[in-house]
A and B are shown apart, each in its own frame.
Chain A
C-alpha cells in the first residue's frame, strides 16, 4: 500500500516544497497558533513554518506550549480539520431579484475554484474528508459548492508523532499514520522529512524537490515513532460498529446522566470534522428587491433542528445527545458504511464540561447498567 521510503527532504530545503506549491498555483495554508489554538492560516511567501508547538489536550481543555524543538508538526490537531475549507460555515446558495411586477429572477451562486495547499493535514482529517465526500458527493446528489472547493485542495499530510491524550484514531482505524487521501505525505524527523506522493499531482511536485535518499536509520526511526504514536493512545471505542448496540440501548439510564452535564451548546458538532448538518435562511435587502438564500452550519443540539410545526421532536438535551451519539457511532454505518467518528478527540477537548464520547459510549453499550 505504501511506497517505500525513498526521499528525504532536509529541513533547510523545506521551503523548496512551499515554493514548488506556489509555483504550481497553490496558496499555502499552514498551521499557526492563533488565539491559543492551532489554525490553518495563509503562509506568506518567504515565511517559514512555526516550530516547537506543543499541544496539551484533555477533556474540556486545550493548551498551547512553545518549546525549543525544531520540529514543525510535533502536535496533534487544532479545533478545526478540513471541514471549513470545503463545507463553509456560511455561504450563499442562491439569490433572487424581484421586479415591480413581482417577477423573480433566481441566480445560483457558485464557489470559485481556489487552488489551495494545506500543509500538515492529519490522518484523522483525511478520513473525515473521505466521509464528507461520501455525504456531499454521492449518486443521489453532488453539492457543487463542496465539489468545487474539494477539487481545489492539495493535501500535504503528516503522520502524527505526538497524539494528544484525547486522540483515539488508532482505535477507529483512522490514524495516527495516513493510509490514503493525501497528495503528499511527510514523516517528520529532527533534521527533515521523509516525503512520499499519494497522487499524480503529488508526484509532480515531489519530482521537483532536492531530496536525498533515505538512510536505514531514518526509516527505522520513523517506524519507531509511528508505533509509539499508536501505542501512546489510551482512549478507545468499544468496537468499530456500535450501531446495533446503541439502538438496543435507547433507554439506558446513562443518557439521562450525561444530559445533566451537557449544556447543549453544540461545541462538539461544530468542531467535529464529519458533522454535516446545516440550515437555510433568507436575508432580504431593506428595499425588498433582492434576497439571498444562505446556508449555515447547524447542529442537532439546537432547539430548531428538530422543530416541526406544533412539535419539537428533540425538546430536551437527553434526546439531543442521544441523537448525536446514535447517529455518529451508529446509523452512519447504514448510511455510509462506517462510523462517523474518526477519533480526532476534538469533541472531548472542546466540550466546556469535558464530556468524553468514548467514556459515554462505553458506559452505554457495556452489558452491566
Chain B
C-alpha cells in the first residue's frame, strides 16, 4: 500500500513509551482498516508524520516489519513538530503518509557479519535491522552493535541492548562521551569501541546511522580496517518537505535522499560525503 502521495491518512496512537526525558516512542495504527492491512515497509524506511495544524516531519519506522499493522516511531523532541508529537497521548490522532525511501540492504547482508554503528538517537532506524537479524540469527554471521551517546543518561533502551547481547555471536558495545555514575561502558567517542570489537572485515557489512561527524569518523576507521566502501551503508538526513523526490530540499548532489535513500552505500556518495554545503 501507499497512502496518497501528498495527503496523509489518519492514524491513532495506541501505545506511548517515554524512553527518556526528550524521547518518546509512539505506536500508531492507521484508522482506515484497508490502509492498515496493506501497509508494508522495509527496515530503514520512514513515514511523514503530521501534527494537526503544525506540519509534517520524516520519522523512521522503528518497529518490526513483520507486524506492520501497527507502526512505532521513536521521536526526539527538538522543535515545532517533534515537541508536539512527543506530547500526544494514547488515543490522540495524527496524519501519516508513507512508507518512503530505500531501506537497509538486508538481502545483501545475508550470510555476512553485520556491524551496526549508531550515535545519538541513530539507533531507532536500525532497531528493525537488529530485530530482523536476531530473529534469523543462523542466517547471518556475527552481529556487532556499537552505540555512542553524548551523555550516558541519553542512552535509551538499556534492557534491549542487554537482551540483544545475550544472543549467540552477538556483541553489544556502548560508549558515552560523558559517563555518569553507573556507567560501565566506555567513556569517549564511539570510535573507541573499535579496538574492543575485533571487527570482522571479511564478508561483513556495516550499517551506520547518527550525527554526520560521528559517521565520518566511523567510516574512516572502517575503511582503515579494510571494509570496502560498497559494504558500508549510511542513513542520511536532510530537510524534507515532500518525501516524493519533488520539493528539492533533500537533494544531495544528484541524489534525492527521500527516494534514492535515505540509506546509501558509502561508495555511492563518497565524492560528496563530508563536503561542506551538500
Contacts and interface: CB of A to CB of B under 8 A. Distances in A.
Q: Do A and B come from one complex?
A: yes
Interface in A281-310: 281-282, 284, 288, 291, 293, 295, 298, 300, 304-310
A311 B167 CA distance: 38
Interface in B255-277: 259, 271, 275-277
Chain A CB count within 10 A is highest, among B4, B93, B277, for: B277
Contacts of A102: 91-93
B6 A93 contact: yes
A247 B246 contact: no
A238 B103 CA distance: 39
Contacts of A330: 254
Contacts, number: 119
Contacts of B259: 140-141
A313 interface: yes
Interface in B1-18: 4-10
Interface in A314-369: 314, 318-319, 322-323, 326-327, 330-331, 333-335
B242 A280 contact: yes
Nearest to B11: A104
A331 B254 contact: yes
A282 B78 CA distance: 19
B238 A306 contact: yes
Interface in B106-153: none
A192 B191 CA distance: 75
Nearest to A331: B254
A288 B93 contact: no
A279 B247 contact: yes
B241 interface: yes
Given A308-B237, A331-B253, A106 B95 contact: yes
B64 interface: no
A278 B78 contact: no
Given A96-B95, A298-B247, A106 B79 contact: no
A136 interface: yes
Contact of B249 (A98, A277, A309, A333): A277
B209 to A, nearest CB: 14
B6 A104 contact: no
A308 B38 CA distance: 32
Interface in B30-72: 50, 52-56
Interface string B83-96: 00000000111010
B248 interface: yes
Nearest to A335: B254
A94 interface: yes
B105 interface: no
Contacts of A94: 6-8
Contact of B52 (A291, A300, A307, A326): A291
Interface string B216-251: 000000000000000000000111011011111101
A298 B277 contact: no
A280 B241 contact: yes
A103 B251 contact: no
Contact of A104 (B5, B93, B238, B276): B93
A278 B237 contact: no
19 contacts: A96-B95, A105-B10, A106-B7, A143-B246, A144-B5, A243-B254, A247-B253, A247-B271, A277-B249, A279-B249, A280-B247, A282-B54, A295-B242, A306-B249, A310-B78, A319-B277, A330-B254, A333-B254, A334-B254
Given A105-B10, A141-B245, A280-B242, 15 more contacts: A94-B6, A103-B10, A104-B95, A106-B10, A107-B7, A108-B6, A143-B244, A143-B246, A243-B254, A277-B247, A278-B248, A279-B247, A284-B53, A298-B241, A313-B239
Interface of A: 93-94, 96, 98, 102-108, 135-136, 140-141, 143-144, 243, 247, 250, 276-282, 284, 288, 291, 293, 295, 298, 300, 304-310, 313-314, 318-319, 322-323, 326-327, 330-331, 333-335
Interface of B: 4-10, 50, 52-56, 78-79, 82, 91-93, 95, 237-239, 241-242, 244-249, 251, 253-254, 259, 271, 275-278
